[in-house]
Amino acid sequence: MLLALLQENSAVLDVEANCRAVDAAARTAAGRGAAVLVTPELFPVGYAPRRVRSGLDPSLLPAIEKRMAGIARSNGIGLVYSLPRVTAQGDWQISATLLDAGGATLLSYGKVHLFGDDERAAFSPAGEAPAVVDFNGIPTSLVICYDVEFPESVRAAAVAGAELLLVPTALAHGFDDVPQVLLRARALESQLTIAYANHCGEEDGCTFLGGSVVAGPDGGLLAGAGGEPQLLYAEVDPGAAARERRNVPYLAERRPDLYRTWGL
User: pLDDT by residue (tens digit) across 137-184?
Assistant: 999 999 999 999 999 999 999 999 999 999 999 999 999 999 999 999
Distance between CA atoms of residues 228 and 197, nearest Å? 13
pTM to 2 decimals? Answer: 0.98
pLDDT of residue 238: 96
Domain boundaries, the chain: 2-261
Distance between CA atoms of residues 125 and 135, nearest Å? 26
Task: Give CATH for domain 2-261.
Answer: 3.60.110.10
Known catalytic residue at 145 = yes
User: Which of 8, 19, 119, 145 is an active site residue?
Assistant: 145
pLDDT of residue 243: 97
Tens-place pLDDT, residues 198-234: 999 999 999 999 999 999 999 999 999 999 999 999 9
Q: Which residues contact 244 (CB under 8 A, 6 or more apart)?
A: 191, 217, 218
Q: Which residues contact 258 (CB under 8 A, 6 or more apart)?
A: none
pLDDT of residue 123: 98
Report which of 183, 167, 119, 218 is spatially closest to residue 7, judged by C-alpha positions.
167
pLDDT of residue 245: 97
User: Which of 8, 19, 41, 200 is an active site residue?
Assistant: 41
User: Which of 19, 111, 149, 200 is an active site residue?
Assistant: 111
Known catalytic residue at 111 = yes
